[in-house]
Structure 1
Amino acid sequence: MTTTDQSSASVTRPRQAVSAVRRRELAAFLRSRRERISPEQVGLVRGRRRRTPGLRREEVAQLSAVGVTWYTWLEQARDIQVSVQVLDALARALLLDPTERAHLFRLAGATDPTPATVCPSVTPALRALLERIEPFPACLQNSRYDILAHNRTYGLLLCDLEAVPPEDRNCMILSYTHAEWQSSIVHLEEAQRLMAARFRTAMAGHLAEPAWKMLLKRLRDQSPAFREAWERHEVVAHRGKRKEFHNRHVGRLFLDHTDLWLGPENGPRLVTYAPADDDTRRRLDALHALALERRPVAQE
């Protein structure tokens, strides 16, 4: 064996050892999460002869839409590839909370494709700024249109955003699949077309990233309108413009949209909506008052 071969082997062995440790930890973690869930929690019948604590392996495989043999190998710490789509399905089937989900993806050496409920870029200062902007609606978004944080007025602008699961709080998903959100946008078809074009522009720098590919697949699978817009291959840059909404609580709103970028690149941004006329300003005040009744300011 040459010196080069020896050096290469000395690097490979520690990596293999780390990978084996991760697989064992992942297997143990999956077993522990499986055993703590009762069949009733996931809509399954317990049966009289059940001896397994929690769920059986085949039940987890069924709930996750993966093969039983493949899932068994995963719990046996075998050296197999795990896609982010399968990890996402397992996290949902095993009812993982955000911390457990993040742990699952770290053990698998993968990047979680869904937006986190708490993002490192959302600092306490930015949350305070969102509150101080009220009654103007405002939110923090990333370049993928995930809504990372929002103030109370924005939470009632297009729908009851608090009722939307965190993993679905994405403006692309909501604009193409959420009925109430869509009904609040007066010029919906134009808005959808522009968003698809902006999304294509932004995605050019993220073509190989799982989170972007999964969002694109979901939009294509769930929305014929998105598929049609996407096939136009239109691209446009972000720019401020006047938008018209019909809010179910206070009526017609004319708002000037502005993006305030939080870095040198078009990544996270503060999205604000300022009233374009006095009637809209009064209606925003009313919407803010309603939002305060539903979600009061947290006490220190």
Structure 2
Amino acid sequence: MTTMVQESDVRRHELAGFLRSRRERITPEQVGLPRGRRRRTPGLRREEVAQLSAVGVTWYTWLEQARDIQVSPQVLDAIARALLLDPSERSHLFALSGIADPAPGTPCPTVTPALRQVLEQLEPIPACIMNSRYDILAYNRTYGRLFCDLDSLPREDLNCMILAFTNDGWRAAVADLADATRMMAARFRASMAEHLAEPAWKALLARLESASPEFREVWARHEVVGQGGRTKYIHNAHVGLLHLEHNNLWLGPAAGPRLVSYVPLDDDSRERLEKLQALAVAGVSP
């Protein structure tokens, strides 16, 4: 009995810390609220999260104080949406609460209908929405066929680090693979500096270390590189060699979700992307 009580207490404190960290990373503008002149709290205030979640301020405050209170799946779902949790963060929220997620396939709130329309309008330019952990949150049809057939993969594999180090199709498409994976590991290390204690990041790192000897080797170098655009050559299985420029468009004031696009650098690459888009519309996969 004592062990169960201790475990419950640990879970509540982990949940409280997790909620605070998510709340402090969201700006009022991201959720359609005015900033005001006297804001001292980083991110959202507790009362703003309560308002967005349609729960009482006192109740939400108790939740962040690790009080022993009952939480329903519906309320957790509302809080997850208010805090713009991505699928990994949402899963972690329900795991800490010891409650089954009533809607495990819920789309990430960060990817609004307007952003999905932007992805579609960019065709035939391949584009996706990605978070700083390299989870692919949404993508257009051309991006879905650029490296491999993303539609055929389970959701837990839709992560560029996992794909770059473990997916044969993705790896075959990347020119100069050794340099590309080394740079990705260096960027991942730089991004992870602000998330060292977060379970979703630690779980991804553990999975990479377990699945890929190559990742273990490059990770041991402790190289760090910041985010930035650069040119890439990609060997697509259907349309051949593509010369593209990789670009990041940040969707918030912090280094969080970003729109990633691959712009063709010559006429041949543009024509081949148009052909790839047509193949994607027809349902042909690499």
TM bucket (normalised to shorter chain) is 0.5 to 0.7
Give the structure 2 partner of residue 239 of structure 1.
Answer: 228
Change (3 A) 1:15 1:215: closer
Match of 2:150 in 1: 161
Structure 2: how far apart are the matches of 1:211 and 1:110?
18
Secondary structure of 2:242's match? strand
Over 3 Å counting, the alpha-carbon distance change for 1:138 and 1:105 in structure 2 is same
The question of 1:254 aligning with 2:243 is answered yes
- 8 Å CA contact 1:239–1:259 kept in 2: the answer is yes
Amino acid paired to 1:173: I
1:272 maps to 261
Q: Which amino acid aligns with 2:98?
A: A
How many Å separate the matches in 1 of 2:117 and 2:131? 18
Residues 138 and 151 in structure 1, CA contact (< 8 A), matched pair in contact too:
yes
Q: 1:104 Cα shift? A: 4.6
Q: Deviations 1:98-152 (Å, cap 9, x if unpaired)?
A: 9x968852632899xxx96611100000000000000000000000000000000
Query: Judging changes above 3 Å, is the alpha-carbon distance between structure 1 residues 117 and 217 closer, same or farther for their aligned structure 2 residues?
Result: farther
CA distance in structure 1 between the partners assigned to 2:277 and 2:145 by the alignment: 8
Measured at CA, do residues 201 and 221 of structure 1 come closer, stay the same or move farther in structure 2, by a change above 3 Å?
same
Verify: 1:121 aligned to 2:110, yes or no.
yes
**Structure 1, gaps ≥5 residues long:** 1-10, 27-97, 296-300
The amino acid that maps onto 2:128 is C
What SS class does the counterpart of residue 153 from structure 1 fall into?
Answer: helix
Tell whether 2:193 aligns with 1:208: no
Q: Is the Cα contact below 8 Å between 1:116 and 1:167 reproduced in 2?
A: no
Judged with a 3 Å threshold, the aligned counterparts in structure 2 of structure 1 residues 134 and 16 are, in CA distance, closer, same or farther, namely closer
Are the equivalent residues in 1 in contact too, given 2:147–2:169 (CA < 8 A)? yes
Deviation at 1:182, TM superposition (A): 0.2
Amino acid corresponding to residue 224 of structure 2 in structure 1: V
Give the residue type in structure 1 aligned to 2:135: D
User: What letter matches 2:279 in structure 1?
Assistant: L
Aligned position for 1:189: 178
User: What runs of 5+ residues in structure 2 fail to find an aligned partner?
Assistant: 1-61, 74-87
Q: Contact between 2:131 and 2:137, CA under 8 Å: does it hold in 1? A: yes
Residue of structure 2 in register with 1:108 after alignment: 98
1: distance between equivalents of 2:174 and 2:164? 9
The amino acid of 2:145's aligned partner reads: L
Q: Is 1:218–2:215 an aligned residue pair?
A: no
- Name the TM-score, length of structure 1 as normaliser: 0.63
Separation (CA, whole Å) in 2 of partners of 1:15 and 1:248:
52
**Following TM superposition, by how much is the alpha carbon of 1:293 offset from its aligned partner in structure 2, in angstroms?**
1.2
Tell me the residue number matched to 1:8: none
The Cα RMSD (Å) is 3.0
Alpha-carbon spacing, 1:209–1:277, altered in 2? closer, same or farther (3 Å): same
- Equivalent in the alignment of 2:121: 132
Pairs aligned (count): 206
The answer on whether the counterparts of 1:174 and 1:181 sit within 8 Å (CA) in structure 2 is yes
Q: 1:176 aligns with which of 158, 161, 165?
A: 165
Q: TM-score, normalised by structure 2?
A: 0.66
- After superposing on structure 2, the runs of 4+ consecutive aligned residues of structure 1 that deviate more than 4 Å are 14-17, 100-104
2:92 and 2:200 in contact (8 A); partners too: no
Mark the structure with the bigger radius of gyration: 1
- Percent of residue pairs identical: 54
